[in-house]
Amino acid sequence: MGVCGLLLVAACSSGRNVSTHTVARKADPSGPPVVQVPPSEPLPSDSPLETIVEQEDPLELLIEQAWDLFKKGQTLFEGGEIQEARSYFQQALDTLKHSGFEFFLNPHLESAYYDLLGGIQELELQAWVNPAEIQPLSLVSPHFEEIENLNLFAIQVDPHLRELAGQDLLKTRFDIPVVLNDDVLRLLNFYQNRGREIMEEGLKRAGRYVPLFREIFREEGVPLDLVYMAHVESHFKPNAYSRAKARGLWQFMLATGRVYGLRQDWWIDERSDIVKSTHAAAQHLRDLYERFENWDLAMAAYNVGSRRIDRVRRRYGKLDYWTMVKRRMLPRETRSFVPSILAALIIFRNPERYGFWIEPDPPLQFESVDLKEQVDLRVVAEEIDVPVAELFALNPELRRGITPFHDDDYKLKVPLGKADLLKKRLANLPQDRKVQVRHHKVKRGETLGLIAQRYRSSVTAIAQMNRIRNVHRLREGQDLLIPLAGGYSAASAARSVKPTFQQLPATYLVRRGDSLSRIAGRYRVSISDLLLWNNLKVDQIIYPGQRIRILDKSKSVAENSQNTGADR
């Protein structure tokens, strides 16, 4: 799922029609190897072929240019060059907003603009809420753009490679039919040369996921060799995100993800869940195979949508995938999609035979913990003494680095051997270590003061966390993070505990993940006091290693009264 006509990703058709019935027939992974030759008999010359005429749409080119600017900005943003990144983000938005087209009269252009804006806002929110170790979203598989723009017919078919691959197919047991034709050989050539770095990275990263994927595909009754589709879909990146808003290792679009039960909301997107998305991908492939009774067509339908395959077959009969390719009945990216998978599969099964000597990453090993309340992954990492990046790698579905609100069924994945320790630590977790933020979508007529009152927070704290410069301007539908300074009972707790001079340090050394609201909640002082004592502005960011002054208010007031009396 991905960008129609731009990226080689799956199920980009907005009109996708999927089947959700259960398949009784199971694939037999232990069957004999199959070397299949595509049919050579052409259609009649007078057959009215549904040939795709590929013309450059100026609007699509404009949108592509805007996304290229966003991608450059994202690279800078992830490298810490925030101001330079924001310059590119603004250029991307301006490219669409001031393009000369009638912006508000063109739904496609307006939709692309707000998609871009949403991507920028998500990066900004992640950078604010999560520590530097969070793996940011990455535009999916840049080598697909290269394949898409590559003139495959300009690549000479190496007769030695044909012979090598032909011998390989005779000796290797595959559990899907593997076609060895010129298209597949050209992709093999590409992976060995121009796409070599991409293939090497994929071979390395696949070590983390392939054992788990094979276990899931076996459970779902799907050929195990199809796990290597993840290389073509996302380059084995759980946080991959396409221009068409497909997400995750298996590049599910929003609608298809919902069909297969993948939860998608502000806190969580299970299209990136390593386990759940893989079950969904296997089920989707199984349903497509039941529909078309052919794995090549099932893979093609995963990319272009089953409706497109149905439409071609209704008009011309039950053609196979390779005839559709030969007669250009499918979009360009779909014509390259299946050959890319088969070429990747051939290499992944015998990488050394094709000149790849790569040590795969060790397989992920984890166990799950049932959670009864929200937790921040940074707190979990500290409590069980593991790098926070490891937790984010195991739980990429968490969009904010915090487990979902009001979800008693959520299971957090932790490194093997850490589950019991986490249960014990969570049972005794102090109040000031518990999650202190909520999500709020601004409604018509709401003000920051009303929102702060509702959550027992403060206007200053909300403004600081969301980088709001003008506290009197909110946009309907705007997403806000609400700092709670210790939870919903923080206000009463603060009234019942009077801080003493001994409780308050002269200065506090900021640690990674700290915010002024968290520090204020810990020492029962207000954010406005911290701003005053440290000469800070509302939108000013604190950083690890910085020292924050924390004064005893009662003592400072008494000292101020004495000084005032002396002056008199």
| pLDDT per residue as tens digits for the range 115-137 | 777 677 666 655 544 433 344 44
The answer to whether position 288 is within a domain reads yes
Model pLDDT, residue 76? 79
- Same domain flag for 164 and 247: yes
pLDDT higher than 60, residue 487: no
The answer to whether position 23 is within a domain reads no
pLDDT higher than 90, residue 319: yes
Percent of the chain with pLDDT over 70: 72
The answer to whether position 16 is within a domain reads no
- Same domain flag for 307 and 187: yes
Q: Please state which of the ranges 336-340, 356-360, 474-478 shows the lowest mean pLDDT.
A: 474-478
Q: Which of 327, 354, 381 finishes a domain? A: 354
pLDDT higher than 90, residue 397: yes
The Cα-based distances of 267 to 166, 349, 379, 455, 479 in angstroms read 49, 38, 17, 18, 12
Q: Which of 139, 173, 196 finishes a domain? A: 139
The CATH number for 112's domain is 1.20.58
Model pLDDT, residue 208? 96
- Same domain flag for 158 and 305: yes
Model pLDDT, residue 54? 41
* Alpha helices per DSSP H over 366-505: 377-384, 388-394, 419-427, 448-454, 459-465, 490-496
Model pLDDT, residue 7? 32
- Same domain flag for 487 and 544: yes
Residues 6+ apart with CB under 8 A from 330: 52, 300, 304, 308, 312, 324
CB atoms within 10 A of CB 471: 15
- Same domain flag for 165 and 311: yes
The CATH number for 328's domain is 1.10.530.10
Q: 330: pLDDT confidence band, cut at 50, 70 and 90? A: very high
The answer to whether position 473 is within a domain reads yes
pLDDT higher than 50, residue 25: no
Q: Which of 325, 354, 383 finishes a domain? A: 354
Query: Could you tell me how far CA 340 lies from the centroid of its own chain?
Result: 22
Among 153, 141, 251, 254, smallest CA distance to 202 is for: 141
pLDDT in tens, 511-541: 766 777 778 777 767 777 788 888 887 667 7
**What is the bridge-based pairing of β-strands 178-179 and 35-36?**
parallel
The answer to whether position 472 is within a domain reads yes
Select the more confidently predicted residue: 546 or 232.
232
Domain enclosing residue 166, as ranges:
140-354
* Alpha helices per DSSP H over 135-195: 142-149, 159-171, 182-192
pLDDT in tens, 345-383: 999 999 999 999 999 999 999 999 998 888 888 889 999
Model pLDDT, residue 178? 94
Sequence length of the chain is 568
Model pLDDT, residue 515? 76
- Same domain flag for 334 and 376: no
Model pLDDT, residue 566? 35
Structure tokens given for 299? 């893979």
Distance CA 7, CA 139 (A): 10
- Please give, one letter per residue, the 3-state secondary structure of 394-407: HCCCECCCECCCCC
- Same domain flag for 338 and 450: no
- Same domain flag for 420 and 519: no
Average pLDDT over residues 73-90: 77
The answer to whether position 144 is within a domain reads yes
| Of the ranges 331-335, 407-411, 470-474, the best mean pLDDT one | 331-335
The answer to whether position 33 is within a domain reads no
- Same domain flag for 255 and 212: yes
Model pLDDT, residue 173? 92
- Same domain flag for 169 and 209: yes
Q: What is the mean pLDDT of the chain?
A: 76
Select the more confidently predicted residue: 55 or 501.
55
pLDDT higher than 70, residue 190: yes
Domain count along the chain: 4
- Same domain flag for 189 and 307: yes
pLDDT in tens, 261-272: 999 887 889 999
- Same domain flag for 144 and 127: no
Tokens 């003000």 label which residue?
447
The answer to whether position 132 is within a domain reads yes
